[in-house]
Amino acid sequence: MASPMARVRPAVGRTFRSLHHRNARLYLAGLAVSNVGTWMQVVAQGWLVLTLTDDSGVALGIVTALQFTPLLLGGAWGGVVADRSDKRRLLLATQVVACALAVVLWAATATGTVTLGLVYVLAFLLGCVNAVDNPTRRSFISELVEPDEVANAISLNTAVMTSSRMVGPAVAGVLIGTVGIAACFLLNAISFVAVLLGLLAIDVGALRKAERVARAKGQVREGLRYAWATPEIRTTLLMVAVISTLAFEYQVVLPLMAAEAFEGGAGAYGLLFSVLSLGSLSGSLISAARKGPTRAYLVGSAATFGATMLVASAAPTLAVALVAVVPMGAAGAAFVTTASALLQTTTRPDVRGRVLALFSVVFLGSTPVGGLIVGTVAEHLGARSGFVVGGTTSLVVAAVVTLRRRRRPDAPGDGETERAVEGRVPVAAA
């Protein structure tokens, strides 16, 4: 019988297999540091808004909506820019601009001149940057590794994001309670140096670049037609659209849960975010160890996410909530990772930026609508109602997709490919 370590080593190798590429290591390492700063700013910005507005859930919803409205309205065009551009150079530009915005927010907060209006403006401008940065970042991953390692690299990218979310909120909670909110914005600005250095150190010759798409009319419409004509892509995007709109509003619900349901401060908020992220990290690593994404795993993770969110909504104390959000975070991360991997692996390279831009639109761009809805519901019915709405939505979506597949047993199954448009090359072979 094989020893426990003999069984563990292959699993670890599968989980981190894409990291044997130097470019992937450089990029993900820089991203890890930068994302710690990003999540520090997320927590600090939410707490700043609550400070300026006397705990207004509506104001939190508005600032979140402003930050993600550009993705909703311009995300599809951001995907066109990604398909047309050298992704590494474009990422260097977006990171520099995001760093500059963090510096402005730090300076205004440190000098006591910050206003709610300024927070709104800076959130909107950061959203404009992210409308281009997000699809570019997602599609850039496929240039760092071999085609059969893309799904693994996506899972590790999600693991980096979620592990950063564990550290960032915890550090932010400590800093807000000791030296003040402004320090979080300054450290976020400094953290961009890491990802910039990583991008500069990448071996350009080793990148597996997709052919850049020539400028032409109708490229946004082409991406939309392709996504809608491919059943697996269409269903995945619709699932992400509905669930992300009403269930992934952590930035709105968690600070209200900490302040109202548990009568805690910034420390409780940061702790909730960090423990949730611990769960998300575990979900990402479990997904990375899998051979590949499947529709069954996507639907199962959506159902689990909804059920655990309802459990978290009923937590009577902060201690119970900290336990409940771990599996909730794991299921949520598994859902997002699987959806992104399915889209990456079933999309033709020449439209990948546009399809992933649509993913960004429905996952992040839906936040303006969802943030306002969930923020308003939570303000009038209590913070817990935000999780109730999200959990119920996820369970309903999973049930609907399951029932539709049972009624259509001839529908394409897991691992099958479809033709995006009649006469086109099968998506898996492109």
- Give the pLDDT confidence of 223-239 residue by residue, as tens digits: 888 888 888 899 999 99
Per CATH, the number for 20-203+218-429 is 1.20.1250.20
For residues 343 and 368, what is the distance between their CA atoms, to the nearest angstrom? 23
C-alpha to C-alpha distances, 15 to 23, 160, 299, 340, nearest whole angstrom: 17, 13, 22, 17
Residues in the chain: 430
Average pLDDT over every residue of 8-30? 78
What pLDDT band is residue 9 in, cutting at 50, 70 and 90? Answer: low
Average pLDDT over every residue of 185-211? 91
**pLDDT of residue 118 exceeding 80:** yes
Average pLDDT over every residue of 58-71? 80
- 3-class secondary structure per residue, the chain: CCCHHHHHHHHHHHHCHHHHCHHHHHHHHHHHHHHHHHHHHHHHHHHHHHHHHCCCHHHHHHHHHHHHHHHHHHHHHHHHHHHHCCHHHHHHHHHHHHHHHHHHHHHHHHCCCCCHHHHHHHHHHHHHHHHHHHHHHHHHHHHHCCHHHHHHHHHHHHHHHHHHHHHHHHHHHHHHHHCCCHHHHHHHHHHHHHHHHHHHHCCHHHCCCCCCCCCCCCHHHHHHHHHHHCHHHHHHHHHHHHHHHHHCCHHHHHHHHHHHHCCCCHHHHHHHHHHHHHHHHHHHHHHHHCCCCCHHHHHHHHHHHHHHHHHHHCCCCHHHHHHHHHHHHHHHHHHHHHHHHHHHHCCCHHHHHHHHHHHHHHHHHCHHHHHHHHHHHHHHHCCHHHHHHHHHHHHHHHHHHHHHHHHCCCCCCCCCCCCCCCCCCCHHHC
The two tokens of residue 149 are 């390692």
Name residues whose C-beta falls within 8 Å of residue 318's C-beta, 6 or more positions apart in sequence: 258, 262, 264, 268, 271, 272
Backbone angles phi, psi at 352, to 5 degrees: -60, -40
Q: Which of 234, 218, 221 is nearest to 418 (CA)?
A: 234
Backbone angles phi, psi at 115, to 5 degrees: -130, 165
The two tokens of residue 93 are 């530009």
For residues 50 and 253, what is the distance between their CA atoms, to the nearest angstrom? 12
So what's the pLDDT on residue 12? Answer: 62
Q: Is the pTM of this model over 0.75?
A: no
Q: Which of 88, 98, 97 is nearest to 27 (CA)?
A: 88
pLDDT over 70 for what percent of the chain? 87
More confident residue, 36 or 151: 36
Q: Which of 135, 159, 128 is nearest to 35 (CA)?
A: 159
**pLDDT of residue 427 exceeding 80:** no
Cβ–Cβ < 8 Å for 141, 13: no
Range ranked top by mean pLDDT from 106-120, 196-210, 215-229:
106-120
**pLDDT of residue 364 exceeding 80:** no
**pLDDT of residue 170 exceeding 50:** yes
**pLDDT of residue 393 exceeding 90:** yes
So what's the pLDDT on residue 423? Answer: 30
So what's the pLDDT on residue 421? Answer: 31
Average pLDDT over every residue of 251-263? 81
